[in-house]
Amino acid sequence: QVQLVESGGGSVQAGGSLRLSCAASGLRFRPYHVGWFRQAPEKDREFVAALSRSGGTPRYAESVRGRFTISRDNAKNMVYLEMRNLKPEDTAIYYCATTNTVWTALRGGPDDYDYWGQGTQVTVSS
């Protein structure tokens, strides 16, 4: 049974930092592209960042580019999202996910992704 578990969320003040982690059981991250999404109350789930299975050039939502960094450690079977200079609008539940969709065909939406974690709450206060 595949299970993704996010951790590292919490409450911070604007300008602060958090590092989210995603651990997998029943699945090895190595063959998959990985992504982070977030969902704020009463909003659709939105793309945050993605990293290919080869660890090449990542993709970021414009709203987080330059502040967030996605990374992966295949040896530890972990995926990370380093978040700096957090803003109140970053407040959301953050999810990690995996996909086998061809990297160049990814449209950036959640429908491209297969396995999901349960999410971790990030709250940024002003």
Give the pLDDT mean for 106-121: 94
Who has greater pLDDT, 15 or 101? 15
The answer to whether the beta carbons of residues 106 and 50 sit under 8 Å apart is yes
pLDDT in the model for residue 35: 97
Given pLDDT bands bounded at 50, 70 and 90, which one contains residue 31? Answer: very high
Residue 22 has pLDDT above 90, yes or no: yes
Provide the 3-class DSSP secondary structure of residue 89.
helix
From 37, 100, 42, 40, select the one nearest 64 (Cα to Cα). 37
Q: How far is CA 95 from CA 8, 33, 36, 110, in A?
A: 11, 14, 6, 10
User: Which pLDDT tens digit goes with each residue over 34-60?
Assistant: 999 999 999 999 999 999 999 888 999
Given pLDDT bands bounded at 50, 70 and 90, which one contains residue 89? Answer: very high
pLDDT in the model for residue 108: 84
Average per-residue pLDDT in the chain?
96
Residue 104 has pLDDT above 90, yes or no: no
Given pLDDT bands bounded at 50, 70 and 90, which one contains residue 1? Answer: very high
pLDDT in the model for residue 107: 84
The structure tokens 């200079």 sit at 85
